Amino acid sequence: MKKYLVILLLFIAFKGKAQKTATAPVLNDKAIVKDEDGNVLATILWRAYSKTGEYSFRYQKEDNSFLIYKMTPEQKAVSDERREAMLASSARPRPSNAFKDGDKFIGYKLTDLNGNKYDLKASQGKVIVINFWFINCPPCKQEIPELNQLFIKYKDNKDVLFLAIALDDKFDLKQFTEISPFLYNIVPDGRYFADKHGVTSYPTHLIVGKDGLIKFHTTGLAHNTVYWVDKTIKEQLATL
């Protein structure tokens, strides 16, 4: 009898734990998110607020919703510190099959949307940051706000060159950037250059060091992609 009682108790405990796990709140596109006035926000809106890094969320058990609120400077400092520690301990994002660390980068000449010309053969001594992308690529568009922040961080540093090699033509890119600004130097009709390297997955990031060797490459969009791009830029600026 005791044996069956123990089994029954274990079953009840397991079932209760499973139910608790299943009903745990998750902040995703199906979640109800409210502002401090109680207004329900559209997913696209609260995600845009979240990307600024100025806001946080708190679960509200009484109505199974999340409250979005602007962090105080002190709260943001703590949040930034935790995020930095988390990113620093994370593994390098998935490498691209098109490149190999340490290989010599074979440069070429490019012209961006504004008519500016670049000779990557003559750019040794600079850190070259390249993003291969196209307009109808969802993860490519998703990372643009973070890439813009990265560009702003280094825009006054003459030793860093940012290039966004796009598959799209000049007309479509100008229309797109009028609505969604992308601060990298955008190179149109870039399929030739993508094919030259064998890039078939987007977005793909590539960083060439001051010595002309490939230092970092990744494909796809991970939570730490831009962190690793920034990390590699800082490391390369500190060399030589």
pLDDT of residue 139: 95
CA distances from 79 to 58, 73, 147 (A): 14, 10, 20
Q: Where in the chain is the domain with CATH 3.40.30.10?
A: 109-237
pLDDT of residue 72: 84
Q: Is the pLDDT of residue 23 over 70?
A: no
**Among all chains, which residue has been given the structure tokens 């990390």?**
231
Mean pLDDT of all residues in the chain? 87
| 140-166 pLDDT, tens digit each | 999 999 999 999 999 999 999 999 999
pLDDT of residue 13: 53
pLDDT of residue 6: 44
d(CA 166, CA 174): 12
Tokens representing 18?
A: 């499973």
pLDDT of residue 75: 74
- 235's CB contacts (< 8 A; 6+ apart) are 215
Tokens representing 17?
A: 């734990």
With cut-offs at 50, 70 and 90, classify the pLDDT of residue 240.
low
CA distances from 152 to 87, 119, 129, 156, 162 (A): 20, 23, 14, 8, 11
Within its chain, how far is the Cα of 183 from the centroid? 15
User: Are the C-beta atoms of 207 and 163 separated by less than 8 Å?
Assistant: no
pLDDT of residue 52: 74
3-state helix, strand, coil in the chain (%, to 5): 40, 20, 40
pLDDT of residue 141: 95
Share of the chain above pLDDT 70, in %: 84
The residue-averaged pLDDT of 126-139 equals 97
The residue-averaged pLDDT of 63-75 equals 85
Q: Is the pLDDT of residue 180 over 90?
A: yes
With cut-offs at 50, 70 and 90, classify the pLDDT of residue 90.
confident
With cut-offs at 50, 70 and 90, classify the pLDDT of residue 21.
very low
> What is the radius of gyration, based on Cα positions, of the chain?
23
The CATH number assigned to the domain with range 109-237 reads: 3.40.30.10
User: Are the C-beta atoms of 192 and 85 separated by less than 8 Å?
Assistant: no
Q: Is the pLDDT of residue 203 over 70?
A: yes
